Chain A
């Protein structure tokens, strides 16, 4: 009964931690931000969390968690607005909601659809939190037995899921994860301090790329650029109509469907890597299967809303299981979440077994916050639905410069170096290309996050095992093949086999049409080129630092083989094959990629010349005046508001802005200097 005697006090400690006005205030703040982010189509938990990252440095852990959990938990609730009202998935987790939610809105039943969705979301979120509570209780004793070989194995398990993430072409997922891992190895090796793909002449690279930069570059920038290029004028928004209570009654009438879909959500959420992108489709499929009269689906059947919405909130609870227990990100947003927790407080909290051991109260605080955030989020969604719905009408061209301003500021905080912005731009370009050619970006990010643990655990496990083997053969075998390791190996093998069989039907980021051969081929060759250079670079590490050489050489080797297989396939297969997925074929963009990017390149160059604040002022004004086509007065007002916002934020956090050449020759007062 040790389980109960430890857990119950921790549970009540956790409740004490969060039931403070200030914590609840941060939770509500996080929820409100999550609502805003979720409402905008395309922006989800990853982008939201990335934006919060710079504020996490040294923040009180409970406050930071309240902010982040509030945001993560509410995105699957608020993204319903876009799905129902606009017919565009608010985030990848509510693609299926569109199918019946949007037709309901067209019929004038938007309010009914929304309230059914909110009720389901709330219920799903609570189921997820409950599951997490119980699961931590049961799994904790096992997780505390984890040593380096077990940690290594669970890391490998996490990595093994990337093939499934990639959907139609599994090898692409492996190559993407391999590339992510190689980007993760850049800089000084952990074991012997040898440089990988870096030189002391460029000190920036010696420390490697930061998660903030990679997260923002890979996820936020491509989505923002894509939305900006479409610059959709949203005029066909449907009125909300009445029927709020009808929606709740609909949910109650289908409560067992909601229960089942919540459980589906939790289970899918637990599997690392699968996460939000597929759970709604599985739940939708289940809803269709279990309904007698299937004819109404797609025409506005409320069960088609209840199913996905129950599951996509429940999956957040499930997704926290691998994240909190093992430090293995369950999804892209959880990858950022792990990085953010490391920044909280004074860095004493690290997700994984050590947190379960030393910070059980914090662990349970996360669970409570999750449940609470779902309740708060639902209440705000219902209470303020009219206002929130209006948010969807803001043209994206007005929002984008503001988002870019925050992203650039956030990125700069990671290293206080103008190179942060250059790196952000470069990784952003990579992210845009990966999105375009349907290379799995979650796989890349998971590879990046797990690169370092995989390398150190592998090196350490080998070294410790050697020492045990010297003692006796049995000692060594006992160490490497503990019962937990064997179970994990079996789970990994089963999940890979089953996963690959199922993967064909999973479209993590929606179906992408195929285009011509040329563009995808060029991108593949560029990736292959980088991997070859990285491989050679790693191979040149001298013998005495072999520990820094083995991992990058192995990973790049695997990724190179994957790329070569892709290359051969590309030569054989016809243009219509999924290999040649290319979003440029389907997206009706009003603006070209390069002209859109040029705006941001200009911001970067101007920053290098005259510092961030001056560059930003020019950028904001010019963008609003010329690209968004607003009046000069409006643009000036917008610029003033933007600059005031960023300055007050920097002042509050005691942060500097990137300086340029101008600041080197003259001394200017803050914030200009």
Chain B
């Protein structure tokens, strides 16, 4: 009893020390910038209606409170070419012109064309300075009759079925589920042309699609009622990353097996090798570091420190877990070193993985990126 109490106190002390160290580390680099009376523009390269808009609209007022001088933070939308337009624009912005009053929010859809070498991409992630990285997860689900055919986590019985999946395009985030299902040996035909994942869910509800996936927040909102009604059964989550970069169960869905577990249980699906590495690389690029906030190229150390501290202050709010849980899900909101690490894992995909995916896209869907 006494021992365990002591251990706990020590542990708490360590956490506190670490937190203090982090906080001082964050401010040690410089004096920070004062933004009083200024207006911070937060550019989102998507329209007002997407997930990035929700994410930015959630953070904007909190950020305004946390930044020194309490500047007004306004979210500006610059949609076009699946976010390439806005990202190309941001690439041309110089830090000196904005002095910390301009930040940019990227998403998985910004990362994928960058990774796949889309010729329209004229932006370079390495030029920008990351100050926040937000993660998310995803869940694949099936109609009950098909889910019943799975033998525990073994999906090989599903190989006889013709699957229809409502997809936004093979080069988008849908690449991750499509590749996962293919690795399991499932015969999934994507029906392209849907506008958002919500349309994919509707297609599933109408019985036209018989496999689907949603990102965590949409799953919680749109699919959980179906699961309760018995018209949908979760198949697997994509999982989450632990500190060592291993795929573990998604904290939001601890009872669901991850794709890795299902793959291991299914004959013919390998959790090593070229295909697995490619899947994992693109999963990491698309989910655990899906949305990031950047300062433009050439941002001063002071600005970086200021924004990092501000986002840390937002995270440290007593009510943060409560207000973010419903809107962002239980996912890491990374700052400082963690954000830099997330950026690296999201953008430095091994060439072999890129080559594999480009080749696969070309062969399987006839999509040529050049």
Contact = CB atoms under 8 A, between A and B. Distances in A.
A464 B191 contact: yes
A471 B163 CA distance: 11
A82 B23 CA distance: 69
B339 to A, nearest CB: 26
Interface in A327-370: 342-343, 346-348, 354
Contacts of B80: 203, 206-207, 415
B74 A464 contact: no
Contacts of A200: 119-120
Contacts of B192: 190-192, 459, 547
B227 interface: no
A654 interface: yes
Contacts of A632: none
Interface in B92-136: 97, 119-120
B164 interface: yes
A188 B84 CA distance: 13
Nearest to B162: A467
A147 B49 contact: no
A365 to B, nearest CB: 20
Interface in B138-174: 162, 164, 166, 169, 171
B11 to A, nearest CB: 41
Contacts of B366: 192, 544-545
A206 B192 CA distance: 18
B81 A203 contact: yes
Contacts of B166: 460
B173 to A, nearest CB: 15
B208 interface: yes
A207 B79 contact: yes
A464 B209 CA distance: 8
A288 to B, nearest CB: 48
A667 B96 CA distance: 13
A269 B97 CA distance: 55
A147 B193 contact: no
B54 A206 contact: no
A456 interface: yes
Contacts of B97: 667
Interface residues of B, number: 40
Given A206-B80, A460-B193, A147 B198 contact: no
Nearest to A653: B74
Interface string B175-196: 0000000000000010111111
Contact of A346 (B54, B195, B202, B207): B54
Nearest to B221: A348
Contacts of A148: 203, 206, 208
Contacts of B198: 348
Contacts of B193: 190-191, 455-456, 459-460, 547
B245 interface: no
A416 B41 CA distance: 14
Interface in B310-357: none
Interface of A: 57-58, 146-148, 188, 190-193, 200, 203, 206-207, 342-343, 346-348, 354, 415-416, 455-456, 459-460, 463-464, 467, 470-471, 544-545, 547, 654, 656, 667
* Minimum-distance CB pairs A-B, first 9: A347-B49, A544-B366, A190-B193, A456-B193, A191-B192, A57-B48, A654-B74, A58-B48, A147-B206
28 contacts: A58-B53, A146-B206, A147-B207, A147-B208, A148-B208, A190-B192, A190-B193, A192-B192, A200-B120, A203-B80, A203-B81, A342-B49, A346-B48, A346-B53, A347-B47, A347-B50, A416-B76, A416-B77, A416-B78, A455-B193, A456-B193, A459-B191, A460-B166, A460-B208, A544-B368, A547-B192, A654-B75, A656-B76
